[in-house]
Amino acid sequence: MLKKILIANRGEIALRVIRACHELNIPSVAVHSTADSDSMHVKMANESVCIGPPKASESYLTIPNIIAACEIAGADSVHPGYGFLSENPAFAEILDDHKIVFIGPSSKHIRLMGDKITAKKTMTNLGVPCVPGSTGTVETVASAKEIAQELGYPVLIKASAGGGGRGMKLVMSSDELLQAFHAAKKESAAAFNNDAVYIEKYLLNPKHIEIQVFGDGLGNAVHLGERDCSIQRRHQKILEEAPSTVLTPKARQHIGEICANAIANLKYSGAGTIEFLYSNGKFYFIEMNTRIQVEHPITEQIFGVDLVKEQIRVASKEKLSFQQEKIHLKGHAIECRINAEKIPEFSASPGLITAYHAPGGHGVRVDSAIYAGYKVPPYYDSLICKLIVHGETRMDAILKLRRALKELIVDGIDTTAEIFDKILVSKEFERGTYDISWLEDFLIEQQRAK
Ligand code: ADP
pLDDT in tens, 326-343: 999 999 999 999 999 999
Pairwise CA distance, residues 277 & 232, whole Å: 13
What was the pLDDT predicted at 407? 98
Ligand 1 atom closest to the Cα of residue 201 is 23
Closest C-alpha to 434, from 154, 239, 156: 239
Average pLDDT rounded to a whole number, residues 45-67 = 98
Average pLDDT rounded to a whole number, residues 5-18 = 98
- The model's pLDDT over 227-246, given as tens digits with 9 standing for 90+, comes to 999 999 988 999 999 999 99
316: Cβ–Cβ under 8 A, 6 or more apart, which residues?
Answer: 1, 2, 101
Q: Is the beta carbon of 169 within 6 A of some atom in ligand 1?
A: no
User: DSSP class of residue 57?
Assistant: G
343: Cβ–Cβ under 8 A, 6 or more apart, which residues?
Answer: 414, 416, 418, 419
Query: Which CATH fold would you assign to the domain 5-103?
Result: Rossmann fold (3.40.50)
143: Cβ–Cβ under 8 A, 6 or more apart, which residues?
Answer: none
Q: Using an 8 Å Cβ cutoff, are 208 and 434 in contact?
A: no
What was the pLDDT predicted at 349? 97
Q: Using an 8 Å Cβ cutoff, are 130 and 103 in contact?
A: no
Q: Using an 8 Å Cβ cutoff, are 96 and 269 in contact?
A: no
What was the pLDDT predicted at 166? 87
285 C-alpha to ligand 1 centroid (Å): 10
Question: Is the pLDDT at 163 greater than 90, yes or no?
Answer: no
Determine the Cα angle at 368 with ends 362 and 372, to 5°. Answer: 100
For 207-449, the fitting CATH number among 3.40.710.10, 3.30.2350.10, 3.30.470.20, 3.40.140.10 is 3.30.470.20
Label residue 423 by pLDDT band (50, 70, 90): very high
Structural domain boundaries in the chain: 5-103, 132-201, 207-449
Q: Is the beta carbon of 236 within 6 A of some atom in ligand 1?
A: no
Q: Which of 168, 197, 237, 290 to mutate to test the pocket of ligand 1 (most atoms within 8 A of CB)?
A: 168
User: What is the largest distance, in Å, between two alpha-carbon atoms of the chain?
Assistant: 61
- Name the pTM for this structure: 0.96
List the CATH code of the domain at 132-201.
3.30.1490.20
Question: Is the pLDDT at 222 greater than 90, yes or no?
Answer: yes
Residue nearest to atom 2 of ligand 1 (CA): 163
Q: Is the beta carbon of 163 within 6 A of some atom in ligand 1?
A: yes
Catalytic residue list contains 10: no
Q: Is the beta carbon of 198 within 6 A of some atom in ligand 1?
A: no
Q: Beta strand 332-339 with 341-342: parallel, antiparallel or unpaired?
A: unpaired
Question: Is the pLDDT at 165 greater than 90, yes or no?
Answer: no
Pairwise CA distance, residues 361 & 236, whole Å: 29
Label residue 212 by pLDDT band (50, 70, 90): very high
Q: Which residue type sits at 109? A: H
Residue nearest to atom 11 of ligand 1 (CA): 235
| pLDDT over 90 percentage in the chain | 96
Catalytic residue among 252, 291, 337, 365: 291
83 C-alpha to ligand 1 centroid (Å): 17
Pairwise CA distance, residues 178 & 111, whole Å: 30
